[in-house]
Amino acid sequence: MKILFTRLLVTGALAVPLVAVGATAASAEPTNCTATPSGNTTRARCTSGTGQVRAGILCVVKGEFENDHYGPWVGIGATSTVTCPGGGRGVDWWYEIG
């Protein structure tokens, strides 16, 4: 029984640093991000952090909803832009980080 307890204690101690490392890596992401709509266009930008961002927009064309549309993935400080196709009207907008 003492050996089993010792193994559990050692295994638990080894797992703690792995969790801490995973939490540190996950915190590196874009920050200070915004999505700015203007008519049928949306622009997204992040000003700090690391990673990428892209703009998303939901458009109405001929009175029906279409699929979501996305701008290109861009780095920190750059702007991702997406426009509704076919003269559609933007009804919802957002940004995604990756």
Q: How many CB atoms lie within 10 A of CB 41?
A: 16
CA atoms within 13 A on the CB side of 12: 6
pLDDT grade for 27, boundaries at 50, 70 and 90 = low
Mean pLDDT is lowest, of 10-19, 29-38, 56-65, 75-84, for 10-19
Cβ atoms of 59 and 91 closer than 8 Å: yes
CA distance 73 to 98: 8
The secondary structure of residue 49, as a DSSP letter, is S
- Each residue's pLDDT tens digit, 61-84: 888 878 899 999 999 999 999 999
pTM recorded for the entire structure: 0.69
Percent of the chain with pLDDT over 90: 59
